[in-house]
Amino acid sequence: MNCAICKGNLMPIKEKFLVTIKDQDILIKNLEMLECENCGERYLTPETDEKLERLILKYKQGNIPITHQDIIQLEV
């Protein structure tokens, strides 16, 4: 798979990913994604996108215990 911007090689990485839901910042740790070796553009794989959506749904449903912090940190 190549980068849509520069056609460079994509390499798998694990990185932090910040999501904001209803004015609440949620930091997702160790999210698997692909990063272009050339330009640094990042992409979520379909599998990672599914994991992220399930995690966000659990959060919205109240199935993830939270504390009142500026940023909630979750592990994938």
Rounded Cα distance between 7 and 3, Å, is: 4
CA dihedral sign, ordered 67, 44, 39, 12: positive
Q: CATH number for the domain including 17?
A: 3.10.20.860
Per-residue pLDDT at 3: 97
At 72 the pLDDT is: 57
- Read off the pLDDT of residues 38-61 as tens digits, 9 standing for 90 and up: 999 999 999 999 988 888 888 788
pLDDT greater than 70 at residue 17: yes
Return the percentage of the chain with pLDDT > 90, whole number.
39
Number of structural domains the chain divides into = 1
Would you say residue 2 has pLDDT above 70? Answer: yes
Provide the domain limits for residue 33: 10-75
CA atoms of 42 and 3, how far apart (whole Å): 9
> Does residue 23 belong to any structural domain of this protein?
yes
Report the predicted TM-score, pTM, of the whole model to 2 decimal places.
0.72
